Structure 1
Amino acid sequence: MKQQTVEISEERRITIPRSLLWTLYVEKQMTTWAVAEKLQCSQNTVVRRLHEYCIPVRGIKKSLPTDEIVYLYEVKGKSMQEIATIYQCSHTTIGQRLHEHYCLKESNKATANKNDGRKRASRPCLPTAEIIKSYQAGTSATAIAKNLKISRWYVLKVLHHAQITIRHSCRYKNISEDELVYLYTVAHMSTERLANLYHVRSGTIASRLRDAGVSLRGHRRQLDEVRICELYAKGISVSAIAKDQGCSHTAVRCRLERRGLYRGRKKAKSI
């Protein structure tokens, strides 16, 4: 069976297959943080995909003061990310609370109009019409979010609800799977060389190879594991150790996990 993987489009949207997300989150009961770490993306991305695929999210809903959130967003003009920092949660949570608030508000207005027998035009609190119009005019979701000072997640959510097809880059290429597998396994070309050959990202090449059932060789860089363990035991952060070793923080974390020393994310002093 071909292994499913995560692919990043030219607009940086991370695509996670629904079946893969269902297997990890529902069948294996992994947390959103664990899924994010496995798929090498953010926890917010995992939560967004769960909502998009209508997969129920586990856990207790965090109690947040909706009135204060709406006040900060509408009156103070703070972004979702800024509000999320205040309440120590993700900006996805803030966006969900705002969405629920405005949906309830519009529902109450519709009920009142129906009961009164009058048709009153209700202006949406969030610029839904403007988002759709700008996107259909050719403006990217990222540019719309920046111009309106809202999150790209909300822009995409509006477009999905309006059943508007999300554009993908015209630079996306159909690469021959057989040819790619041959060059990687027989000719021993690296993902970087293949990426340059096909004018795509190396991550895209890696994704296609995984889809074809090919096990990636990876980078087996020799690191001073003894020093890594000593620095970590002293409370040095993984990022600081990676800088000291001249490698990625993922490489350091893998060495620590292999020895059973990695304690997860925590604030640590630098070298």
Structure 2
Amino acid sequence: MNWITNLVRPKIRSLLRRETPENLWIKCPDTGQMVFQKEVEDNLWVIPGSGHHLRMNARARLDHMFDGAEYEVIRVAEVPADPLRFRDEKRYTDRIKDARAKTGMQDSVLIGAGRLDALPVTIAVQDFAFMGGSLGMAAGEAIITAFLTALERRTPFILFVASGGARMQEGILSLMQLPRTTVAARRLREAGLPYIVVLTNPTTGGVTASYAMLGDVHIAEPGAMIGFAGPRVIEQTIREKLPEGFQRAEYLRDHGMVDMVLPRAEIRPAVSRLCRILMKREAAA
């Protein structure tokens, strides 16, 4: 037995070994720069230097938007979990369980009611981490509940959107959420209450074809992809090369589909100002 190899070396390694969290660093997708996660988190999940906007989960969004991170979570009525008994590589019910365990959410939309710079507001956030923010019966019911909550409480409604589109595991029942949410948006407009949409990366599919593009004001985060079909599908269909930056937030702003593109740190004060203007309220002291 080589006592140096079998005894001494392992002891030295154990003394030198340091426990380091796996998520201590984040790599910037644009520049490849390694940044401390805590630094990125403190910067609202925006990479310092490059300004690349990472995805921000629903609870972090609500904490940032509401005064003192205090708000009431609005409950949503339960819907059938697997109405079509769908199964591909695994059962749909198992996919939902995995997504709930991963995100701590019941489905892809979280609703909060509270105050933004002392003004009562209702805010909903669509979280891409929950099955790509896909729109199914539960998400549709949550969006409608958010509209009705704003209508009942006479508050502005702010929606942060992030979605890959309709949830294929629910088929036509998923597509039925498009007209349902559109009717809810119409009811809010008829009541004269503001509906402000913040488009984040990505906002695509049936969500873009319905409630995501029905706001009074549309704000987008820098670099967010916004569209119905993906660029590759469009290129293959029309057999032409798309313009540079096509379907990105800045391109859509320049072509009139989005009202403004704002860095994440500027969205809260901008939404606050818009709500007060549209509600004809004086600025908070």
- Shorter-chain TM band: under 0.3
Considering fraction of residues, name the structure with more helix. Answer: 1
**Rg larger in structure:** 1
TM normalised by structure 2 equals 0.22
Query: Which of 1 and 2 has higher RCO (CA within 8 Å, sep 6+)?
Result: 1
